[in-house]
A and B are shown apart, each in its own frame.
Chain A
Amino acid sequence: MTITVKYFASLREKLGRDQDSIDWEDGLSVSGAWSRANDGEPMPESVMVAVNMQYVKGDVVLSDGDEVAFFPAVTGG
């Protein structure tokens, strides 16, 4: 009954860690997962979010075992 939360790039450096493991519960959203992993803080508006490696919005509801990733604007190419 867990969710894996990953952070990348400047967000990872700012938070000082690259991953969290949090408890899952029915109805837990992406933004709720951020708050649960970050002392109740609201999810920053500027972050991009992926669940199981697909882009989603913050109100998407998670399933047990999901992997959620938070990261800043991408800058490849």
Chain B
Amino acid sequence: MHVDLRPSPFDPWREVGDRQAQRDDAGKAGAAAVFVGTMRDFNEGETVRAMTLEHYPGMTEKHLGEICEEAGKRWRILDCLVLHRIGDVRIGEAIVLVAVWSAHRGDAMDACRYIIEDLKSRAPFWKKEQLAEGERWVESNTSGYSNNG
């Protein structure tokens, strides 16, 4: 299990590949589920130019670790990688990566979904968007479907 906060851009696909290459469990992991969240240029009807991610140093890392531990209790997973940006983020950059390896797809996908949903509702991060005119705090996360903006 590995959790990390990144103050600069990262390539999520390279991170997944590097993590997989580091492990010595060839033949054990039959499934990998990956979620990548990326910075959009729109939100709630407004064009967004950039974003700043504030977090609670110490609690954020601790909470992300606890989410992964809880996922490991609920599903049979082999490894878990969670990376999240902090600070200034630009359009198109990865904000978050959740990758879960397991023997079987059900455990991998369910655990991946669980981790990202808990992260979005309970991990102490806050987004501040820079708009064409002014800036605003994002007040809540969407449900995750297109009809909610």
Contact of B139 with A8 in the complex, beta carbons under 8 Å: no
Q: How many residues of A contact B (CB 8 A)?
A: 17
Contact residues in B for A53 (Cβ distance below 8 Å): 56, 58-59, 62-63
CB neighbours (8 Å) of A50 from chain B are 56, 59, 124
Q: Is B104 an interface residue (CB 8 A)?
A: no
A76 with B59: in contact, given A9-B126, A10-B137, A50-B124 (CB under 8 Å)?
no
> Interface residues of B toward A: which range?
20 to 34
What residues of chain B have their CB less than 8 Å away from a CB belonging to chain A? Answer: 37, 53-56, 58-59, 62-63, 84, 95-96, 116, 119-128, 137-141
Which chain A residues numbered 1 to 41 have a C-beta less than 8 Å away from chain B?
6, 8-10, 13
B125 partner residues in chain A, CB cutoff 8 A = 74-77
Report yes or no: A72 in contact with B137, Cβ–Cβ below 8 A.
Answer: yes
* 15 further A-B pairs in the complex, CB-CB below 8 A; given A6-B56, A74-B141: A8-B56, A8-B124, A8-B126, A9-B128, A48-B124, A50-B59, A53-B58, A53-B62, A71-B126, A72-B139, A74-B121, A74-B123, A75-B138, A76-B141, A77-B96
Minimum distance in angstroms from B83 CB to a CB of chain A:
12
Contacts of A62 in B (CB 8 A): none
Which 6 A-B residue pairs are closest in the complex by CB-CB distance? A76-B125, A9-B126, A53-B59, A77-B120, A10-B137, A75-B138
CB of B96 within 8 A of CB of A76, answer yes
Taking a contact as CB atoms under 8 Å apart, the answer to whether A75 and B127 are in contact is yes
Residue interface bits A31-73, CB-to-B below 8 A is 1, else 0: 0000000000000000010100101000000000000010111
- Residues A77 and B59 in contact in the complex (CB < 8 Å), given A9-B54, A72-B139: no
Q: Is the CB of B56 within 8 A of A69?
A: yes
- Provide the bound-state CA to CA distance between A73 and B127, in Å: 10
6 pairs across A/B with beta carbons < 8 Å? Answer: A10-B126, A69-B56, A71-B124, A76-B124, A76-B125, A76-B126
